[in-house]
Structure 1
Amino acid sequence: MKIKNIFLFGVLLMSASMQAQTIKLDTYKFGEGLNFTNDDGYRMKLTGYIQPYLEIKHYTEGVDNSSVNRFRLRRARFRIAGNLKNERFKYRFAFDLSGTSEDGNTTSNYLQDAYISYDITNRIRATFGQRSTYTDNRELFMASNTLQLVERSRVTSAFASIREFGLFMSGNFRSGRGSYLRPYFVLTNGDGGNVLGKDHGGLKVGGRIDYLPFGLFTNFGQFRQADIVRESAPKLVVGVNFSHNNGMSSRRGRGSGDIIYLNDANEESLPDFTKYGVDFMLKYSGFSVLGEYVKTKATVPDDITQRILNSGSISTNFEVDGIQDVENYVKGRMMLGDAFNIQMGYVFKNGISIDGRYTHLNADEHSFLNNATFYNRPNYYTIGISKYLSRSYGAKIQASWTYVDGSDGINDNNGNPISGNETLARLILTLAL
């Protein structure tokens, strides 16, 4: 962890040293950031955006037929990226001052990206540091200011680890007739981002393979949702991903030390977590469709006999339905099950986009996905409308309405049972540099 602290500080110094030199503005495009250069070949790009956000949650039945309103700054992000005099060396440093995590929860972790990369060849790149991982669903490849709808799908909040610290390898190879193959490899600590304390468990290893049969997307369109550039020919990417976390101390690999189990020798004994999925994205002439499927499972060690409570005390109670059941108790605190998300939309030439999404979560019998306060909602139906105020992602306003299926039994935010369903109305404004 000391090495990680030194490394993250080094990336910051690297970006700061670039700023300290004599630089000049090279290019600027609204929504795409400021590009600077100097005479020695250094390049630096500044990007950023803010997103004021309004959400109204309404319970169709229940106590007082109540609604819950929330207004906040959803994101306030700033990023510095560039390359050194040797253009094979690149860096990125990014942070968010909104105090909100990617899945919408409150967080004090402002650091997002801090990494350096090296182009081993023109087609192979190695990256070391903290960044978004390649083993999440495809939606996590896409920047938050380019989302097709107001928020990411529930698949992302349920299963994604979002950011991790470690080694990331990526490739980009032509595979005949204009097609491309893009393989990725990941080796990380498996504890999510901003983990500066003790490392629990082992490493996480995983990878992804993407295939683009019709060539590359225009203007990084593979990493942006709506087709505002209106692809002149069909563009498709299909991918599969896999990861195995050897000893995980959180629900999905997004934290470290959140859930700790011990054996009789008071040594940590943690469950393994495996995730795999398949996804695709198609774009053509303003139309886009994104599909994702994710499946997770866990392996629980047979020597677990104790667990550490939030208070720091130790308990030997692993009761499930009145029976001592270590394996299913452990699984009941993890995000286990499978899910799929399908969404599509069309951007008209006047910058108005009409979009829709269906998300389905299927929890295992023993899984935190059955928690009635936060999950236990199998179906989400969303419609949205957006207005892009420029020919880029510089400014847009988006609204959406989501119907949430609560038929399995749900609670409100305070844990009170609700007999009906939920609806979510959302509004967000994006202003980018």
Structure 2
Amino acid sequence: MKALKLIITFWVLSVPLCASAQIHLDKYTFGEGLNFSGEKGYSIRLEGYAQPYVEVKRYVGNDDKELYNRFRMRRLRLNLNGKSENEKLSYRLKVDLSGTPEIQIEGDDAGTFLLDAFISYDITDNISLTFGQKSTPTDNRELRMNSQTLQLVERSRVTSAFSTIREFGLFADATYRLRGGSYLKPSLAITNGDGLNVFDKDRGGLKYGGRLDFLPFGLFTYFGQFRQVDMVRELTPKLVVGVNYSFNNGISSRRGRGSGNIIYLNDDDEESLPDYTKYGIDFLFKYKGFSMIGEFVKSTASVSNDITQRVRNDGSISSSFEVNGIQDVKNYVKGRMMLGEGYNLQAGYLFRNLISVDARYTHLKADEHSFLNNGTFYNRPNYYTFGISKYLERNYGAKVQASFTYIDAAPGSNDINGNPIDGNEWIGRLIFSIGF
């Protein structure tokens, strides 16, 4: 029913395209959508893509050598953008009809349909304000890049562990040209701190954060800052270096991606939630088909002294906070959060025949008390990935990608069913992407 409602919504929004004689199709480029405009200057773009996907996982130390296979529609997305006559006002509505989450981590991540829904207004030529739901500048750089333009089949494990992906709130973005042709791009965000699609009670306080990007060699060509592969083959070196920071005043999930997942109370049965701080540094470099991304993220938590109770999954209340047989409230709370640090380094080269060869190394270092030590979903410090892609057009309209990831599993790790494993594991992935 949700998918049907979204299809109806897109149909309603598209009615003016069919009903008004003043709207006409400007152009269509395969993979880059349909571009419409009106006689008064306003414009609309409708685009989308589908990504069928297969994954094979094997636990090396298991005697039975069992393979775990998964076939699914990884993404099936529609995106509607519009601009006003003077281009100061713009909007976006983006949905996913596959029913799968952007990043599947703890096994209970629910699929979402509504991704982006926001309105932006350009106060000046350099400054814009956005209100609604969108990607947040406080995540690592990979999350600021479109899923259709990923260099490898999936995003890195740093993104999986620490990102919130999308949030609802107020966003401010600016671009300043400095002497010598360099640019400075600051971004600020004030959000609800509960991730996306929060329809229930808003828990905790707000989340405050921002990002500062510096581009010493000028702007990337054709939105290259937000796309991983150097498809345009930059004629001169392009680099962006950024830092990000956020403070979430009271979260009720592992990293602020959801609302009401984990709740604590004080003696008066009032909610008392931990605070979550995250910061990082990252860069993107491109030149003549070569691209490289580097990211570092660190997270910490502050646990209130008045927490005395916790709400179980079934809604019952418990005052037990045992850690290694000892009542330890602060470390019990931290043990359910994504605390620690990680870094990701990936690079690749796109040949002129549109074949790309890419590699990535990701490292996670969990705090002593952190959900990053969970044996089933994490507890794996090192990820080594090699990938190869074939782009069927000189854009992201159609491509085939395959990757192989070898994973170091620390002692105490489990398979996806919670059974202990004796060795490491590997994952093979294949995805096909086609857009319109």
Report the TM range for the smaller structure's normalisation.
Answer: over 0.9
1:388 aligned partner:
391
Equivalent residue in structure 2 for 1:120, among 114, 119, 123: 123
SS in 1 for 2:199: coil
TM-score, structure 2 normalization:
0.95
1:308 aligned partner:
311
CA distance in 2, matches of 1:108, 1:320: 32
Deviation at 1:63, TM superposition (A): 4.6
2:94 aligned partner:
94
1:5 aligned partner:
none
CA distance in 1, matches of 2:290, 2:356: 9
CA distance in 2, matches of 1:236, 1:307: 47
CA distance in 2, matches of 1:107, 1:255: 10
1:168/1:184 contact within 8 Å kept? yes
CA distance in 2, matches of 1:17, 1:432: 22
1:70 aligned partner:
70
Equivalent residue in structure 1 for 2:294, among 281, 291, 294: 291
SS in 1 for 2:252: coil
CA distance in 1, matches of 2:299, 2:270: 26
Deviations 1:275-334 (A, max 9, x none): 000000000000000000000000000000000001001000000000000000000000
1:415 aligned partner:
418
Deviation at 1:17, TM superposition (A): 6.9
Instruction: Report the more deviating stretch, 315-324 or 400-409.
Output: 400-409
CA distance in 1, matches of 2:15, 2:246: 36
CA distance in 2, matches of 1:31, 1:109: 23
CA distance in 2, matches of 1:177, 1:233: 15
Equivalent residue in structure 2 for 1:241, among 229, 239, 244: 244
Deviation at 1:86, TM superposition (A): 4.0
CA distance in 2, matches of 1:12, 1:296: 38
SS in 1 for 2:64: helix
Matched, 1:273 2:287: no
1:432 aligned partner:
435
Deviations 1:154-194 (A, max 9, x none): 00010000000000100011011010000000000000000
CA distance in 2, matches of 1:21, 1:255: 41
Deviation at 1:87, TM superposition (A): 1.9
Matched, 1:151 2:154: yes
CA distance in 2, matches of 1:258, 1:170: 31
For residues 296 and 252 of structure 1, do their structure 2 counterparts lie closer, same or farther at Cα, with a shift above 3 Å needed?
same
2:369 aligned partner:
366
Deviation at 1:397, TM superposition (A): 0.2
CA distance in 1, matches of 2:16, 2:50: 25
1:207 aligned partner:
210
Deviations 1:213-238 (A, max 9, x none): 00000110000001111000000000
SS in 1 for 2:279: strand
CA distance in 2, matches of 1:403, 1:109: 29
1:203/1:245 contact within 8 Å kept? yes
Deviations 1:122-162 (A, max 9, x none): 00000000001010000001000100000000000100000
1:3 aligned partner:
none
1:15/1:91 contact within 8 Å kept? no
Equivalent residue in structure 2 for 1:220, among 214, 220, 223: 223
Instruction: Report the more deviating stretch, 403-412 or 99-108.
Output: 99-108
2:378 aligned partner:
375
Equivalent residue in structure 1 for 2:233, among 230, 235, 239: 230
SS in 1 for 2:313: coil
SS in 2 for 1:410: coil
Matched, 1:187 2:190: yes
1:84 aligned partner:
84
For residues 223 and 14 of structure 1, do their structure 2 counterparts lie closer, same or farther at Cα, with a shift above 3 Å needed?
farther
2:3 aligned partner:
none
CA distance in 2, matches of 1:173, 1:81: 25
CA distance in 2, matches of 1:328, 1:294: 21
For residues 118 and 18 of structure 1, do their structure 2 counterparts lie closer, same or farther at Cα, with a shift above 3 Å needed?
farther
1:103 aligned partner:
103
Q: CA RMSD in A?
A: 1.5
The runs of 5 or more residues in structure 2 that have no matched partner are 1-5
TM-score, structure 1 normalization:
0.96
CA distance in 2, matches of 1:183, 1:394: 31
Task: Return the letter of the residue paired with 2:156.
Answer: S
State the number of aligned residues.
424
1:18/1:42 contact within 8 Å kept? no
Q: How does 1:162-181 map to 2 (within 5 A)?
A: 162-181=165-184
CA distance in 2, matches of 1:211, 1:409: 42
CA distance in 2, matches of 1:246, 1:284: 41
Task: Return the letter of the residue paired with 2:43.
Answer: R
Task: Return the letter of the residue paired with 1:429.
Answer: F
The runs of 5 or more residues in structure 1 that have no matched partner are 1-7
Equivalent residue in structure 2 for 1:400, among 399, 403, 409: 403
Q: How does 1:330-345 map to 2 (within 5 A)?
A: 330-345=333-348
CA distance in 2, matches of 1:383, 1:409: 26
2:32 aligned partner:
32
1:327 aligned partner:
330
CA distance in 2, matches of 1:155, 1:83: 34
Matched, 1:142 2:145: yes
CA distance in 1, matches of 2:355, 2:416: 34
